[in-house]
Amino acid sequence: MKRHGRFAIALWLVSILVCGIIISRTQFTTDLSVFLPRSPTPEQQLLLEQVRDGLASRLILVGIEGADAPTRSRLSKQIAQRLRADPEFVSVNNGEPVNAEEDRDFLFSHRYLLSPNVIPEHFSVDSLHAALSDSIDLLASPAGLLVKALLPRDPTGEMERLIGQLSSGSRPRLADGVWSSRDGARALLLMQTRASGSDIDAQQRAMAAIRAAFDGASGASAGAILLMTGPGVFSVTSRDTIKKQVSRLSFISIVLIATLLLLVYRSFTALALGFLPVVTGMLAGIVAVSMGFGVVHGITLGFGTALIGESVDYSIYLFVQSERGGTSQQVWIKRFWPTIRLGVLTSIFGFASLLLSGFPGLAQLGLYAISGLIAAATVTRFVLPHLLPTSFRIHDLSTIGLTLGSLLRRAAALRWGAVIVLAVACAILVQHRAIIWDHKIASLSPVSQADLKLDADLRSDMGAPDVRYLVVVSGTDRESVLRAAEQVSTVLQVQVEQGELAGFESPSRYLPSLATQRARQASLPDSAQLEADLAQAVQGLPVRAQLFAPFLADVEAARGQPLLQAADLERTSMAMAVDALLIRQDGHWSVLLPLTAPAGGNINAGHMRTVLTATNLPNVLFVDMKAESDQLYSGYLHEAIQLSLGGLVAIIGLLLVFRAPMSVLRIIAPLAAAVITVTAGLALFGQQLTILHLVGLLLVAAVGSNYALFLDRTNYAQPSSEETMSEAKRLVHSPSPRTLASMVFASLTTVAGFGMLSFANVSILQALGVTVAPGVVLALLYSAIFARQADE
Amino acid sequence: MMTPPSHALSRSLMQAALVALALMLSSGGSHAADWGLDQLMEDLAKIRSGRARFTEEKTIAMLDAPVESSGELFYRAPDHLERHTFEPKSESMTVDGGDLLIVRDGQEYRLQLQGYPELAAFIDSIRGTLAGDRQALEHKYRLGLEGDAENWVLQLLPVDEKMQAIVWRIRIGGVHDDVRSIEITLADGDSSLMRIERLDKP
């Protein structure tokens, strides 16, 4: 072994070691927000943060099915009791009136600061008379019993108004004292975790705690089933799915490729050596992503699985294409390495475009692919030849190669057929052009349809609004955003009365701005005035003014009451609403006002925007979360398409440097044909293209370029050394049988690697699989069919 | 009595005729001899649904005069009860199982009966009586029956101490399987008297 050989091996071993150390410290994630775009505006940033860390992300909806209603109720109560003591949970609601007393105390003691009725006219003689008359009517009703005790203190019905406001939202029905679905078949609980939804470990702990509480409580109640859903639950199950899928698919494709290689090589040494570049490439890919992004995504690892099939190609070329004997690797390096190097370069140019993507997830894939391929090719070129034992030999593939050679010569006969297929593909694409791309961001979600349905069911049972429409008010301090929220609320209330909205929520209901509270305080008349007015107001009513002495005292107290602060809400169920809707971030305040669409209708976004603009309030934004995120995604999809086209241009440019223009056309044409045919095939099967299909197409071009380069006749026109002169002459018009055999095996391994991904349940991985596997085969076929023939 | 005498007279004549008819149709005279709480409950339980007009008068200490209301009741066995008040103000209350829905001034209030023991006490006593569910009634009240099938009064006294602090006594009066009045006296002395007249009597 030569000296520089030893040096190369040593260097390689050291790099492997370093890679190992870096990887052992690498963080792996499955948080799919990396496949959400890096958002360009602060509002969109806020939205994405809401999706990741906001209150909605911290909710876990729990359902208990099976057994009978009393059992479900008992389970619900036991689970809730146990989890209320668990610090992982901020709140656990199951319909039991645990906060009822605190809520009532809070509302009652702050009723004059909270009630929107409190304006100066509210305490005029006429208004008092009307309010008293109403209250007396209420006493006559069955509910009168509930307000009887309050009448002397609250004759104007502020408490009734506040409670009405609170219970206006749809709430789940109660069965046996706990929340239940409308059909009564499920008990429901709503939990809020302390950790944000993007803290998947914490979400997993919370899920385990819920499961443990259920198991601990269920004991004797066989037949009861626990269901969980919510963003955090989705993250946890996605992670599990991705983990399971990636490790299973990696295992299967490694076994598959190994079997294939063993069949070809008939040598374990060759198999083991052949995997060295693959392993090195995987390690290098992980290290590059880890250092470039700080974390490595599970999807990137899954993608890496598929890249095994691609990086194993280099060693296949080396083993199959080299002659037997000690010096043959040197020959291979001289004859074939330039072609492979060009192939690697085109792949790198193709993937480089992904690095510029606004999706961190895509950029990761690009970086992984580039560094992995470089590492694999480098090891194949500089390390592997020195590791081959002198007696190294693999099964002779000349026979297969010769058969392939004669097939290749006859492949030209298929040209017309291929042209027809291509024409049909083009026709399909033209026909489907409007629906080729999937612009919905949900298409990237790894969550299964069944899980989405369960989520939708539990949500509708719970009466939880889908936070699709929001008005976002932002500002520099709490007071200003609350004031703006109050003004927006006034406008929204008009929309509710006009039927444009079913309702809306605002934190200013429970925590009015200080200005509003002061105005309400100022509306309260002094004792002497109120007493005089009250004496007049009771005339004609069956009550005596003396009865309302406690009312006078309460109003007087409210005039001097300290204003309501956020801390006063603690331990009430209103605190959760305020926490969720009033957000402070980096000294910046925002209020979210979720809107509920009218039953069976949609919110007219244009109308709402006009109405809100008319308020002349700065920093008020109407947001349709779904449209917004789809639009964002759509924008990035366009960006990715442009980047891919850029990548294509880069590949062509690169080839033009090394090859004649006609030759470049011959290399590019089969790749373009393969891409068109695959896209048409996907359209035909109803698969709309996502950003990951696009990555797949890029891979088809990258991998396919290797085949096209090898099949391109010009490679063999110039013999690169004395030893091969005779062979080069013999093969001046077509690739050698060995080259052909190596290409077929290389494409088989690629198909095996990516083909496995087609069976993934994770849509992102599946998209890659169904694009690359057929695409690679097609690229090889088209390259063979359209390769220049000896007689041309 | 609130009803004018002439009206009451014609009604009682009608009822007497109906009772005579019912006695003739029923199997023998042993019926009357065995009459008691069990028989009353059994008779009441046979009624699966009913609609009635009501007037209610509440006497509340803090008010100088009683407040009156009127409207219609609807009952469906075993636990569905609706009360639609027309006067003095339109309002409805629907109890279904443990859920209570009050609609008033276009506002809906959904309550869980468990959270409002005062309301639950009345509703359970009325529903329990209409359903003829002796067990359910005895779970919460000490029962006492006065009178005979022609004119009975079922008295319910709360067993639970907490309930005793709210309700003193409930008296339900009726004729055969027909509940005619519900009188509730609260622990604080306030009381209400509801008179009921069935609208769909066969």
Sign of CA dihedral A651, A653, A654, A660: positive
A168·B118 Cβ contact <8 A: no
For residue B166, the chain A residue with the least C-alpha distance is: A145
CA distances from B162 to A15, A288, B140 (A): 79, 71, 11
Question: In the numeric block, which tokens belong to residue A729?
Answer: 């002459």
Structure confidence at residue A438 (pLDDT): 79
List, as own/partner pairs, every contact residues B103-112 make where C-beta atoms lie below 8 angstroms and the sequence separation is at least 24, other chains included.
B104/A138, B104/A141, B104/A143, B107/A164, B107/A168, B108/A167, B108/A168, B109/A143, B109/A163, B109/A164, B109/A167, B110/A167, B110/A171, B110/A173, B112/A95, B112/A97, B112/A174, B112/A177
State pLDDT tens for residues A161-207.
887 776 655 567 777 778 888 788 899 998 888 888 778 888 999 99
Hey, is the C-beta of B85 within 8 angstroms of any chain A C-beta?
yes
Hey, is the C-beta of B93 within 8 angstroms of any chain A C-beta?
yes
Residue numbers in B near A152 (CB within 8 A): 62
Structure confidence at residue A26 (pLDDT): 82
Q: How far is B33 from chain A (nearest CA, A)?
A: 38
Give which of B54, B63, B193 to mutate to test A binding, by max A Cβ within 10 Å.
B63
CA distances from A520 to A81, A206, A510, A561 (A): 39, 43, 14, 11
CA distances from A11 to A281, A283, A383, A742 (A): 15, 15, 9, 28
A542·B99 Cβ contact <8 A: no
Q: How far is B192 from chain A (nearest CA, A)?
A: 9
ipTM of the shown complex: 0.75
For residues A315 and A277, the answer to whether their CB atoms sit within 8 Å is: yes
Residue numbers in A near B67 (CB within 8 A): 136-137, 139-140, 542
A164·B109 Cβ contact <8 A: yes
Kindly report which listed range (A163-177, A284-298, A409-423, A436-450) carries the lowest average pLDDT score.
Answer: A163-177
For residues A147 and A104, the answer to whether their CB atoms sit within 8 Å is: no
List, as own/partner pairs, every contact residues A215-218 make where C-beta atoms lie below 8 angstroms and the sequence separation is at least 24, other chains included.
A216/A78, A216/A82, A217/A74, A217/A75, A217/A78, A217/A79, A217/A82, A218/A75
B102·A143 Cβ contact <8 A: yes
- Which residues, in sequence order, are CB contacts of A655 under 8 Å at separation 6+? A342, A346, A663, A664, A667, A668, A705
Amino acid at A547: L
Kindly report which listed range (A75-89, A715-729, B38-52) carries the lowest average pLDDT score.
Answer: A715-729
For residue B82, the chain A residue with the least C-alpha distance is: A142
CA distances from A196 to A451, A475, A757 (A): 21, 24, 31
Kindly report which listed range (A685-699, A755-769, A778-792, B14-28) carries the lowest average pLDDT score.
Answer: B14-28
Q: Cβ–Cβ contacts within 10 Å for residue A474, how many?
A: 21
Residue numbers in A near B119 (CB within 8 A): 142-143, 145-146
The beta-carbon neighbor of A140 closest among B62, B69, B102 is: B69
Task: Select, from the ranges A263-267, A543-547, B141-145, the one with the highest average predicted confidence (pLDDT).
Answer: B141-145
B64·A543 Cβ contact <8 A: yes
pLDDT average, residue stretch B170-189:
89
Q: Which domains does chain B have, with CATH numbers?
A: 33-198 (2.50.20.10)
DSSP state, residue A219: T
Give which of A135, A141, A147 to mutate to test B binding, by max B Cβ within 10 Å.
A141
Kindly report which listed range (A323-327, A510-514, A686-690, B3-7) carries the lowest average pLDDT score.
Answer: B3-7
For residues A591 and A464, the answer to whether their CB atoms sit within 8 Å is: no
CA distances from A588 to A32, A196, A515, A585 (A): 26, 19, 20, 5
pLDDT average, residue stretch A153-160:
86
B63·A175 Cβ contact <8 A: no
* Rounded Cα distance, A465 and A596, in Å: 7
**Structure-token match 């709503």, residue found:** A190
Question: In the numeric block, which tokens belong to residue A697?
Answer: 């197409």
Question: In the numeric block, which tokens belong to residue A236?
Answer: 């946890």
**pTM, rounded to two decimals:** 0.69
Hey, is the C-beta of B112 within 8 angstroms of any chain A C-beta?
yes
- What is the torsion angle, in degrees rounded to the nearest 10, for the CA atoms of residue A450, residue A452, residue A453 and residue A456? 160
* Three-state secondary structure call for residue B70: strand
DSSP state, residue A296: E
A174·B99 Cβ contact <8 A: yes
Q: Name A466's bridge partners.
A: none
* Rounded Cα distance, A382 and A156, in Å: 89
Residue numbers in A near B103 (CB within 8 A): none
A140·B58 Cβ contact <8 A: yes
Average pLDDT, chain A: 82
For residues A218 and A224, the answer to whether their CB atoms sit within 8 Å is: yes
Question: In the numeric block, which tokens belong to residue B150?
Answer: 């022609």
Hey, is the C-beta of B36 within 8 angstroms of any chain A C-beta?
no
- Which residues, in sequence order, are CB contacts of A791 under 8 Å at separation 6+? none
DSSP state, residue B60: -
How big is chain B, counted in residues?
202
State pLDDT tens for residues B101-147.
888 877 777 777 776 777 787 788 888 888 888 888 888 889 898 88
B63·A140 Cβ contact <8 A: no
